[in-house]
Structures are given as structure tokens and as C-alpha cells.
Structure 1
Amino acid sequence: MFVERKITKALHDSEVLRQFRALAGFKELKEEIEVVLKNGPYTRLIPDLKGVDPDDAFSIVPYEKGFTLLFYLETLLGGPEVFEKFLRAYIERFKQQSIDSDQWKEFLYSYFQDKREVLDGVELDKWFYSEGMPPVIPKYDDSLAVPCKQLCQRWSTSGDNDLDQFTPSDLTSLTSVQVVEFLALLVEQPPLSLNKVQKMNELYKLNDVKNSEVRFRWLRLCIKAQWKEAIPRVLDFVNEQGRMKFVRPLYRDLYGWEDARPTAIENFKKHRGEMHNTTATMLAKDLKLI
């Protein structure tokens, strides 16, 4: 994840975009840790998996909590250029090998010998073994999130009789990653009224969007508003997608909606054989089938 966002920065020549994506990832991490894993042992960067089915421990924690640690280290050890040289040295040293976290830590200390006091202050073992959210939350640049927050606030606070203020240009003025953030912010808010969600679709044509990241968050909004006509679209999406980051939250949302629960379970049973075994097992647990 850390390297992926480095590549995004290079492609778009935008450090602000890298940090904007980091903010979005942090939001997903928070939901995973607090809602799904309930701050339990699998929220550690180094969980104890003795006698544990590895599938039970699979989550975005190593991706996003690990990213947070690396970004924090980058800010302490000299910035992006300095840390990228470390990454290159690390890859060169350990290419075509399988290593553990202790070896990574030893190499980190050996590379930054003049920063040992700084590294001691990070308390890496706390990062590795503590449960819950990261010990330190870096300060990310959130300038790209400002219009997303403003539009979210307008939709959240407007009344059903005050929707004429919204126009299609609300979204056309945003990039696709900002649209994703806008919808993600709305998902965190109390459910919108059905009237609002239908008006949003009328203006923004969100039912026609093919972008999976947008569709995922839009469908979560529809479920929260209990828009029954959206259920077939949700099922189409989860049947098309194999990624747990999409299908697990949507199935959990459907399960939490009593009227949609039987349909969700029926759909899962019908398509279980088409899923990756790990995905099928985790969904069965989400749907209280095992």
C-alpha cells in the first residue's frame, strides 16, 4: 500500500493526492478496527496466529496500519526522498527472500544508524503488538477533502423540501477520488431520507456509474436509506465482485436491514460456489450461518 501510493504520487506528480488517498485508507482502517474486528487481537500488526485459521485474521489492518507506520517513519527520518532511498536499499538487500519483522527492524536501525534515538522514540514494538488504532496518527494534507466535506455537510443538514440547491455540477466539479470521499463521508453520517437518496440519483445519475469504488459507497447509502429498489443492484454488484472490501460490508449492511436479510442469505447460498473459499467463509460468518 505504501509503495502503491508512492506510485500514485509519481504518476500524478501530486503529494497532496497521495495523502488524500491515505486519509481515505485511514477511514477504512478505523471502520475495520472498531466495527469489524472490535479492537481485538487481529488488529495488531503482528498478531499471534498459532492454532488460528489465517483466513480468520485476514483484513486491511496490515495494509493500512502498516502504511500509517511507514508514513510516520518517513516524516521522522528525513522525508520522502530520504525514505525512498531506504526502500530501494531494503528491496535490494532482501529481494527474492522471505523475512520477518525483526529482520526488517534490524535493517531499519542499521540503515539509519544516525537516527537511533529517533527510532527508539517511535517504540516499534508498541506499533507491532498493540491492539486498536495506530499509536500515532500522522497529520495528512486534507485540502482535497475540503469540497467533499462541504458537499457532505450540505446533504446531511438540508431538509427534504430544500433540495433545489443541488445541481449535477456538484459532482462534475470533483475528481473521481473526491466523489468516492464525498460518498464515504455520507456513509458515516446518519441515514439520509429515501427522498434525498432518490434526488441524489436523479441529479448525479449514480445508478449508472461503473466505477466500483463509487458504486460500492453509493449502494451502502441506498441500503442505509432502505431503498428497496436498490436491493437488486446491490446483489448484482456483490455477484460481480470478488473483493472482500466490497462484498463483506454490503452483505453486512443487508443483513442489518431486517427486510433485506432473507434475500441476502438466499443470494449468498445461491452464489457461494462461485466465490473464493476465504470470501465465502468470512461471509458465512457475517451472515451468522456458521
Structure 2
Amino acid sequence: MPPVKPDWYSSLAAPCYNLSARWQHWDTNTESPFSKDDLRDFLPEQVVVRYRGRGISEQSSAIEKLTHLYQLDVSKNIEIIFRWIRIGLAARYEKIVPAAVDLVTHVGRIKHVRPIYRDLYAWPEMKQVALDTFEANKDLMMSVTRQTVEKDLKINQ
């Protein structure tokens, strides 16, 4: 092991984790302390890290504010969109379901498709949405993705 531990990890990650901690501890019944400039100096990779551990209050009001403030719903970065959707599904934010369905029908990577289907299926009110979306699109999926999602959705078992 080298005698000195480099500080490369925290120099870019620390601002991400600090912002996550602020969101996590924000009482959504109080005025928002956030601004659109929070992500101004972030690289796309930092935005992704910021959402990796979720780290925000998983309440619909927080998700709504997060979406509006940072315009995550119009991001061109699939990793950002993917994490934004997962946070919204975990919070049971119904307005994010169309974006989730859009992602699983237009993106073929199992890395993105499988977790979204699992999140939808785990949400009792959206379980049928997951099943119907899969049924309508399964013939367009790569065979490995289709078979894996079938297992996750407990189809043909």
C-alpha cells in the first residue's frame, strides 16, 4: 500500500454527498433551501453520484421539488433519468410512472430495464402496469432481457 492515501475520492464526491445530505434532512413542510444553481458546477458523473444512494427524503413533495428545480425529467443523460425514475418510484410518486414506462419501452439495456420493472412490480398499485407494459413490449426485447424480466415479474412460473 502507498504510504499516503490520495484525496482524489472526496474532492469530487464530497459536494455530491453534501447536497444529498441536505435533501435527506430537509423538512418538506418548510420552505425549500435549494436552488437550480445547486448542480451548476457538477459534472454529469457527479449528478449521477449524487443520486446513487438516493439520499433524499423519499416523499412525493420532495420528488416534485427535485424534478422541477433541477429539470431532471428533461435530462439527456440516461444515467440521470434512470436514477431520477428510481427515486420517484421508491417514493411512490405517481407522476413518474409514465417516464418509467417510457424508459423500459425505449431503452434496451438490462441495466436500466430490469430495475425499473422490479420497482414497478413491487409497487402494488403499479404491478399491473409493469405486467401490461412487459406483455406489450416483450417481443421487442433481447432474449436475455426478456427472460430475466419474466422471472422478476413471476411470469410463466
Give TM-score, length-normalised by structure 1.
0.50
Match of 2:67 in 1: 201
Return 5+ residue gaps in structure 2 as ranges: none
Cα distance in 2 for residues equivalent to 1:253 and 1:155: 22
1:200-279 paired onto structure 2 within 5 Å:
200-279=66-145
Structure 1 position 190, deviation (Å): 7.3
Q: What are the superposed Cα offsets for residues 89-138 of structure 1, whole Å, 9 maximum, x if unpaired?
A: xxxxxxxxxxxxxxxxxxxxxxxxxxxxxxxxxxxxxxxxxxxxxxxxxx
Q: Is the Cα contact below 8 Å between 1:194 and 1:226 reproduced in 2? A: yes
Q: Secondary structure at the match of 1:260?
A: helix
Match of 1:90 in 2: none
1:53-72 paired onto structure 2 within 5 Å:
none
Q: What are the superposed Cα offsets for residues 258-286 of structure 1, whole Å, 9 maximum, x if unpaired?
A: 11110011100110000000000000001
Cα distance in 2 for residues equivalent to 1:222 and 1:164: 18
Seen in structure 2, the aligned counterparts of structure 1 residues 191 and 164 have a Cα distance that, compared at 3 Å, is closer
Q: Secondary structure at the match of 2:113?
A: helix
Structure 1 position 141, deviation (Å): 3.7
Seen in structure 2, the aligned counterparts of structure 1 residues 256 and 214 have a Cα distance that, compared at 3 Å, is same
Return 5+ residue gaps in structure 1 as ranges: 1-74, 77-138
Structure 1 position 227, deviation (Å): 1.1
Match of 1:159 in 2: 27
Cα distance in 1 for residues equivalent to 2:56 and 2:19: 15
Q: Is the Cα contact below 8 Å between 2:25 and 2:57 reproduced in 1? A: no
1:1-290 paired onto structure 2 within 5 Å:
141-143=8-10, 144-186=12-54, 189=55, 192-289=58-155, 290=157
Q: Is the Cα contact below 8 Å between 1:180 and 1:213 reproduced in 2? A: yes
Cα distance in 1 for residues equivalent to 2:105 and 2:50: 25
**Aligned pairs, how many?**
152
Seen in structure 2, the aligned counterparts of structure 1 residues 258 and 180 have a Cα distance that, compared at 3 Å, is same
Cα distance in 1 for residues equivalent to 2:25 and 2:65: 15
Aligned AA (1:142)? Y
Aligned AA (1:179)? V
Percent identity of paired positions between Structure 1 and Structure 2: 33
RMSD: 1.8
Give TM-score, length-normalised by structure 2.
0.91
Cα distance in 2 for residues equivalent to 1:247 and 1:163: 35
Seen in structure 2, the aligned counterparts of structure 1 residues 268 and 171 have a Cα distance that, compared at 3 Å, is same
Seen in structure 2, the aligned counterparts of structure 1 residues 251 and 201 have a Cα distance that, compared at 3 Å, is same
Structure 1 position 163, deviation (Å): 4.3
Q: Is the Cα contact below 8 Å between 1:191 and 1:221 reproduced in 2? A: no
Q: What are the superposed Cα offsets for residues 164-188 of structure 1, whole Å, 9 maximum, x if unpaired?
A: 21000011221100000101121xx
Seen in structure 2, the aligned counterparts of structure 1 residues 190 and 164 have a Cα distance that, compared at 3 Å, is closer
Cα distance in 2 for residues equivalent to 1:216 and 1:204: 15
Cα distance in 2 for residues equivalent to 1:233 and 1:170: 24
Q: Is the Cα contact below 8 Å between 1:238 and 1:247 reproduced in 2? A: yes
Structure 1 position 202, deviation (Å): 1.4
Structure 1 runs (4+) deviating above 6 angstroms are none
Structure 1 position 228, deviation (Å): 0.9
Q: Is the Cα contact below 8 Å between 2:20 and 2:56 reproduced in 1? A: no
> Which of the two has higher C-alpha Rg?
1
